């Protein structure tokens, strides 16, 4: 009888031990989904070997994540897009070689980087802040590979034009800041918090995902709510940044600096991009600097988290290593059929 009680007590203890984390997960999922999202990013940073660090300069603090150390290959600096953060790049970092030195920084005012005033949120202001960051962590001791998406692509292009000696090569993913772009529904937002890229409800968050990706994902309502909860405290800031980057000084900043870019340039653009529609798609490659390449994807690369991360990572590695693709050959690590060179640019069709 005593033995039976001991066995029953053992089962109760084991069941309770298993039930507690399950109940905690369910409670978090239902009541605090934003906490789960933060844990998700923390888990993937640890899994990929990324460390979160801070760089202070004159009372201004930058938050960034990094992996590896500077070596023979160029370091890679990644600039995220509007209202995003450094963890946006996790899905791409997963496919980058581990021997590369990678730095993902929170753009001015975003996530863990200091918020100051409107002057820092214009494209020129962000460029100066990123230069300050580069100098603080001494990334410019040797030329590095610069990557930017959307707003970050605009900043990256202007940075390369202003400080050409610091950039050895660069990759722009659906960059803003060109006269050949039409901002789709974003132009008709009447400058209120109903801006499609600043969702305030789960339904608006779902609409934003539809805008950022032509692939339809069924995202649980609680996850959508968690994403809204994470962003909600920052919506006023996002509105200020949005008004600055579509303002007269910043809207076509990349276009105005294109001819000053000296580094080899690789552009990745999604054919289904809805938030910034290339009005003259065939003219975009030749409008960029000599030595550049344009990669057309069958999807939508506007949101890095939803793009073809493996192919993008491999293409970056090519550009970072200085490799080129000829008319008759393609890199064995890439999963696209062919590379077509025309004069100074190459056009790569991703499968």
> Mind listing the pLDDT tens digit for each residue in 240-266?
999 899 888 898 999 899 889 989 888
Percentage of residues in the chain with pLDDT exceeding 70? Answer: 62
Q: Is 9 within the bounds of a domain?
A: no
CA distance 174 to 148: 9
Which carries the bigger pLDDT value, residue 234 or residue 119? 234
Establish if 222 belongs to a structural domain.
no
Q: Average pLDDT, stretch 225-242?
A: 90
Query: Which whole number is the average pLDDT over 89-98?
Result: 90
Count of domains for the chain: 1
**Which of the pair, 204 or 345, is modelled with greater confidence?**
204
Residue 6 lies in a domain: no
Across 329-336, average pLDDT: 35
Q: Is a pLDDT exceeding 90 seen at residue 138? A: yes
Instruction: Give Cα 300 distance to the centre of its chain.
Output: 13
Q: By residue range, what is the domain housing residue 269?
A: 48-187+250-349
Statement: residue 191 has pLDDT above 60: no
The fraction of the chain above a pLDDT of 90, given in percent, is: 37
Cβ atoms of residues 290 and 318 within 8 Å: no
Residue 260 lies in a domain: yes
What digits encode the pLDDT tens for the residues 209-221? 887 776 677 888 8
What gap in Å lies between CA 195 and CA 188, rounded to an integer? Answer: 9
Residue 115, CA atoms < 13 Å, CB-side half-sphere? 10
**Residue 35 forms part of a structural domain:** no
Radius of gyration for the chain, computed over Cα atoms and rounded to the nearest angstrom: 22
Report d(CA 267, CA 289) in Å as an integer.
Answer: 11
Q: How many CB atoms lie within 10 A of CB 223?
A: 17
Output the domain CATH number for residue 123: 3.40.50.1820
Q: For residue 86, what pLDDT is reported?
A: 96
How far lies 4's CA from each of 12, 156, 338, in Å?
Answer: 12, 69, 70
pLDDT mean over 160-174: 93
Helix (H, G, I), strand (E, B) or coil at 31: helix
Contact 110, 81 (CB under 8 A): no
What was the pLDDT predicted at 65? 97
Higher pLDDT, 346 or 303: 303
76 falls within a domain: yes
Residue 333 token pair: 């690590």
User: 334 in a domain, yes or no?
Assistant: yes
Is 128 part of any domain? yes
In the structure encoding, which two tokens stand for residue 289, read together? 């600097």
With tokens 């993008």, the residue in question is 312
């Amino acid at each position: 009888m005593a033995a039976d009680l001991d066995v029953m007590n053992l089962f109760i203890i084991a069941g309770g031990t298993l039930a507690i984390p399950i109940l905690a997960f369910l409670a978090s999922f239902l009541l605090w989904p934003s906490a789960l999202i933060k844990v998700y990013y923390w888990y993937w940073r640890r899994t990929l070997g990324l460390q979160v660090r801070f760089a202070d300069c004159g009372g201004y603090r930058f938050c960034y994540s990094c992996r590896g150390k500077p070596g023979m290959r160029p370091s890679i600096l990644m600039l995220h897009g509007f209202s995003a953060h450094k963890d946006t790049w996790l899905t791409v970092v997963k496919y980058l070689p581990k021997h590369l030195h990678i730095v993902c920084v929170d753009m001015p005012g975003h996530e863990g980087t200091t918020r100051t005033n409107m002057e820092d949120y214009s494209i020129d202001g962000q460029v100066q802040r990123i230069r300050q960051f580069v100098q603080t962590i001494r990334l410019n001791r040797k030329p590095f590979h610069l990557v930017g998406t959307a707003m970050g692509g605009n900043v990256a292009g202007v940075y390369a034009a202003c400080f050409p000696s610091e950039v050895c090569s660069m990759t722009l993913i659906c960059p803003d800041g060109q006269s050949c772009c039409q901002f789709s529904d974003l132009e008709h937002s009447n400058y209120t918090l109903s801006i499609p890229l600043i969702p305030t409800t789960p339904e608006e968050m779902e609409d934003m995902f539809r805008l950022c990706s032509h692939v339809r994902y069924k995202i649980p309502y609680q996850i959508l709510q968690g994403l809204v909860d994470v962003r909600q405290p920052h919506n006023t800031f996002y509105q200020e940044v949005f008004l600055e980057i579509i303002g007269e000084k910043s809207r076509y900043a990349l276009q105005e600096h294109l001819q000053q870019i000296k580094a080899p340039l690789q552009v990745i653009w999604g054919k289904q991009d809805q938030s910034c529609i290339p009005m003259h798609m065939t003219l975009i490659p030749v409008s960029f600097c000599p030595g550049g390449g344009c990669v057309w994807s069958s999807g939508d690369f506007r949101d890095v988290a939803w793009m073809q991360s493996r192919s993008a990572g491999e293409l970056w590695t090519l550009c970072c290593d200085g490799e080129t693709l000829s008319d008759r050959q393609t890199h064995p690590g890439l999963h696209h059929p062919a590379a077509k060179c025309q004069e100074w640019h190459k056009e790569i069709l991703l499968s």
